[in-house]
Amino acid sequence: MLDIRFEKTTNPKPLPTADNPLTFGTIFTDHMFEMDYETGKGWHDPRVIPYQPITLDPSAMVFHYGQEMFEGLKAYKADDGRILLFRPDMNAKRTNNTNRRICVPEIPEEDFVQAVKAVVATDKAWIPTKPGTSLYIRPFIIATDPFLGVRPSDTYKFIIILSPVGAYYPEGLNPVKIWIEDDYVRAVKGGVGEAKTGANYVASMAAQMKAHDDGYSQVLWLDGVERKYIEEVGAMNIFFKINGTVVTPMLNGSILPGITRNSCIELCKSWGIPVEERRISVQELFEAADNGSLEEVWGSGTAAVISPVGHLRWEDKVVQIKDGGIGELSQKLYDTVTGIQLGRIEGPKGWVIEV
Ligand SMILES: *Cc1c(COP(=O)(O)O)cnc(C)c1O
């Protein structure tokens, strides 16, 4: 249990107004959570303070060798006014999995969740209520030792910032066009692909730019060794419905274990739909598209929840899925997950936590 100190702002910002449509990650609330770590002392001085810049030494290790991690989750305001978090215990667990991989000290799971609740409760007036909107929560940890040698830092900051975000698809679910990348790779087994760390994102940017230039919104990554097996979209996991069976790449060490991915698998199983977590080659996928058994494709992640895929390109081959439209199961998963998140549908036990 953290003994959190609260310092409220004396200069609150105006809340976003309804005529100002929210985008993603551009405005931040009045407060943030901060806690420090020092070897020998552990995590200490947990506090909710006014949102403000942080001052770091230019030699701070995070700037040079990338020892940092982040998480992403959302808070929602239910119709009855309750403030709900979706499976924050999973973010806490994943934080520590990431931390172990990048030699960052762990944070007790209950402290992580308590810190999220404390800062969300402080800024609860910032949770938007229009359909599709939410309060995005970004916890992150950075290495702060002023030192240019290569080793894990002895000091860290754990910070949580909050950003009211708009509907990912303001006009309702909208299928995306995806580029299958076979030149660059995002991650390899044994690397940091299954850790939620910025290194995976910087590795992905050149391919992302290439895809954008060609009119594609996202990159689908193949395995880094054979460039044959499908991995994930880089900020989303990927699902296929082939001949009535839901197929998603198995967690193999280079794929990020998404909480939305896990939720999709659990829900499909509960509806009696067969789910296979296994290797799937891009060859198999395009064969399924050719013989008509590829029924749906969607991505899963906190930001968009479910992103139907309408169009896939691999080398010079292009397939349209559902004529570029939205699949039934994609829509049902979107409606169910967002319904659970908003407290309108009863989900599996423990998925929704009240702040
Ligand atoms: C965060 C993330 C996801 C999605 O995970 P969720 O927990 O569902 O938001 C997928 N891939 C990568 C690389 C990610 O960083």
Helical segments of the chain, H only: 62-65, 88-101, 109-122, 198-213, 259-270, 282-290, 328-341
DSSP letter at 13 equals P
Which regions of the chain does DSSP assign to beta strands (E)?
5-6, 31-38, 42-50, 68-70, 73-77, 83-86, 134-143, 155-165, 176-181, 218-221, 237-242, 245-249, 275-278, 294-301, 305-314, 317-320, 352-354
Q: Which residues of the chain have pLDDT under 50?
A: none
pLDDT at 190: 95
Q: Ligand 1 centroid vs 259 CA: distance in angstroms?
A: 7
Atom 5 of ligand 1, residue of closest alpha carbon:
258
Q: Ligand 1 centroid vs 263 CA: distance in angstroms?
A: 12
Q: Kindly state the tokens that stand for 117.
A: 């609740």
What is this structure's pTM?
A: 0.96
pLDDT at 170: 67
Atom 6 of ligand 1, residue of closest alpha carbon:
258
Question: Which ligand 1 atom is the nearest neighbour of the CA of 303?
Answer: 9
pLDDT at 71: 98
Q: Ligand 1 centroid vs 41 CA: distance in angstroms?
A: 32
In angstroms, the CA 195 to CA 148 distance is 23
Pocket flag, ligand 1, residue 337 (CB < 6 Å): no
pLDDT at 169: 73
Pocket flag, ligand 1, residue 263 (CB < 6 Å): no
Model confidence pLDDT, tens digit, residues 277-334: 999 999 999 999 999 999 999 999 999 999 999 999 999 999 999 887 889 999 999 9
Pocket flag, ligand 1, residue 258 (CB < 6 Å): yes
Question: Which ligand 1 atom is the nearest neighbour of the CA of 201?
Answer: 13
Q: Give the Å distances, CA to CA, from 269 to 110, 246, 273, 344, 346.
A: 29, 9, 5, 21, 16
Q: Ligand 1 centroid vs 5 CA: distance in angstroms?
A: 31
Which residue type, as a one-letter code, is found at position 324?
G
Q: Kindly state the tokens that stand for 110.
A: 């209950």
Q: What is the CA radius of gyration of the chain?
A: 21
Nearest Cα to 104, choosing from 139, 138, 137?
139
* Beta-bridge partners for 305: 301
Tokens 């739909």 locate to 273
Pair 93, 106: CB distance under 8 Å: no
Nearest Cα to 278, choosing from 335, 230, 241?
230
pLDDT at 116: 98
